[in-house]
Amino acid sequence: MKRRDVLGAAALLACGTSRAQTAPAFAAEDLQHAELLRAAGLQDTQAWAFVKELCDTIGPRPAGSDNERQAAAWAQARLTALGLANARTEPTPMKAWVRGPASATLVAPVTEPLVMAALGNSIAAPPAGIEAEIAWYTDFAALKADTTERAKGRIVFIDQKMARARDGSGYGPAVAARSQGAVEAARRGALAVGIRSIGTDHERIAHTGAMRYEIGVPRIPAFAVSVPDADRLAALHAAGKTLRLQLKLDAKSDVETTTQNVIAEVPGTDLADEIVLVSGHLDSWDLGRGAVDDGAGCAIVSAAAALIARAGRRPRRTVRVVLFGNEENGFHGAMSYGDRYKAVVHQLVSESDFGAGRIWQMKSRVQPAALPLIEKMASLLAPLGVAWPEQGANEGGPGPDAALLMRRHKWPAIGLAQDGTAYFDVHHTVHDTLERIDPATLPQNVACWAVTAWLAAQAPLPFGPAPL
Ligand SMILES: [Zn+2]
Residue 44 in this model has a pLDDT that exceeds 50:
yes
Catalytic (active site) residue 351? no
Q: What does the DSSP assignment read for 85-124?
A: EEEEEEEEEEEEEEEEEEEEEEEESS-EEEPEEEPBTPPP
Q: Based on the domain organization, do 301 and 428 belong to the same domain?
A: yes
Residues in the chain: 468
**Rounded to a whole number, what is the distance in angstroms from the first to the last CA of the chain?**
41
R_g of the chain, CA atoms, integer Å: 25
Is 160 within the bounds of a domain? yes
Domain boundary among the residues 208, 242, 276 is at: 242
Distance from residue 440's CA to the centre of ligand 1 (Å): 21
Q: At 176, which CATH number?
A: 3.50.30.30
Reported as a single tens digit per residue, the pLDDT across 346-383 is: 999 999 999 999 999 999 999 999 999 999 999 999 99
Residue 19 in this model has a pLDDT that exceeds 70:
no
Distance from residue 122's CA to the centre of ligand 1 (Å): 19
Q: Based on the domain organization, do 171 and 285 belong to the same domain?
A: no
Reported as a single tens digit per residue, the pLDDT across 164-223 is: 999 999 999 999 999 999 999 999 999 999 999 999 999 999 999 999 999 999 999 999
Distance from residue 290's CA to the centre of ligand 1 (Å): 9
Is 438 within the bounds of a domain? yes
Distance from residue 22's CA to the centre of ligand 1 (Å): 40
**Amino acid identity for residue 152 in this structure:** K
Is 14 within the bounds of a domain? no
Q: Omega of the bond prior to 231 within 30 degrees of 0, cis?
A: no
Reported as a single tens digit per residue, the pLDDT across 242-292 is: 999 999 999 999 999 999 999 999 999 999 999 999 999 999 999 999 999
Reported as a single tens digit per residue, the pLDDT across 124-162 is: 999 999 999 999 999 999 999 999 999 999 999 999 999
Q: How far apart are CA 68 and CA 333, in angstroms?
A: 12
Distance from residue 328's CA to the centre of ligand 1 (Å): 7
Q: How far apart are CA 425 and CA 288, in angstroms?
A: 13
Distance from residue 235's CA to the centre of ligand 1 (Å): 33
Distance from residue 398's CA to the centre of ligand 1 (Å): 12
Residue 404 in this model has a pLDDT that exceeds 70:
yes
**Amino acid identity for residue 382 in this structure:** A
Q: Based on the domain organization, do 58 and 167 belong to the same domain?
A: no
Distance from residue 436's CA to the centre of ligand 1 (Å): 15
Q: Based on the domain organization, do 393 and 288 belong to the same domain?
A: yes
Distance from residue 293's CA to the centre of ligand 1 (Å): 5
Q: How far apart are CA 210 and CA 269, in angstroms?
A: 41
Residue 231 in this model has a pLDDT that exceeds 70:
yes
C-alpha to C-alpha distances, 403 to 226, 279, 395, 440, nearest whole angstrom: 30, 11, 12, 28
Q: What does the DSSP assignment read for 384-403?
A: GT-B--STTTT-----HHHH
Q: Based on the domain organization, do 39 and 135 belong to the same domain?
A: no
Mean pLDDT of all residues in 4-10: 39
pLDDT of residue 2: 39
pTM for the complete prediction? 0.94
Q: Based on the domain organization, do 117 and 231 belong to the same domain?
A: yes
pLDDT of residue 391: 83
What residues pair up with 120 in beta bridges, in sequence order?
210
Q: How far apart are CA 327 and CA 401, in angstroms?
A: 7
Mean pLDDT of all residues in 96-106: 98
Task: List all residues 6 or more positions away from 16 whose beta carbon is below 8 Å from its beta carbon.
Answer: none
Helix (H) or strand (E) holding 349: strand 346-351
Q: Based on the domain organization, do 231 and 118 belong to the same domain?
A: yes
CB 407 within 8 A of CB 390: no
pLDDT of residue 308: 98
Is 463 within the bounds of a domain? no
Q: Which residues of 154-170 are buried (b: 16+ CB within 10 A; e: fewer)?
A: bbbbbbbbbebeeebeb
- The active-site residue out of 274, 327, 328, 351 is 327
Collapsed DSSP state (helix, strand, coil) of residue 462: coil
Distance from residue 404's CA to the centre of ligand 1 (Å): 13
Q: At 334, which CATH number?
A: 3.40.630.10
Reported as a single tens digit per residue, the pLDDT across 306-342 is: 999 999 999 999 999 999 999 999 999 999 999 999 9
pLDDT of residue 21: 53
Distance from residue 386's CA to the centre of ligand 1 (Å): 22
As for how many domains the chain has, the answer is: 2
pLDDT of residue 8: 38
Helix (H) or strand (E) holding 130: strand 130-137
Task: List all residues 6 or more positions away from 98 whose beta carbon is below 8 Å from its beta carbon.
Answer: 62, 65, 251, 252, 255
**Amino acid identity for residue 438 in this structure:** D
Q: Based on the domain organization, do 294 and 439 belong to the same domain?
A: yes
Domain boundary among the residues 212, 242, 272 is at: 242
Distance from residue 327's CA to the centre of ligand 1 (Å): 7
Q: Based on the domain organization, do 83 and 169 belong to the same domain?
A: no
Residue 64 in this model has a pLDDT that exceeds 90:
yes
Residue 11 in this model has a pLDDT that exceeds 70:
no
Reported as a single tens digit per residue, the pLDDT across 292-316 is: 999 999 999 999 999 999 999 999 9
Q: Based on the domain organization, do 370 and 260 belong to the same domain?
A: yes
Please provide the average confidence, as pLDDT, over all residues in the chain: 95
Q: Which domain holds residue 163?
A: 110-242
Task: List all residues 6 or more positions away from 214 whose beta carbon is below 8 Å from its beta carbon.
Answer: 183
Domain boundary among the residues 242, 277, 293 is at: 242
Mean pLDDT of all residues in 79-95: 98
Task: List all residues 6 or more positions away from 145 whose beta carbon is below 8 Å from its beta carbon.
Answer: none
Q: Based on the domain organization, do 283 and 170 belong to the same domain?
A: no
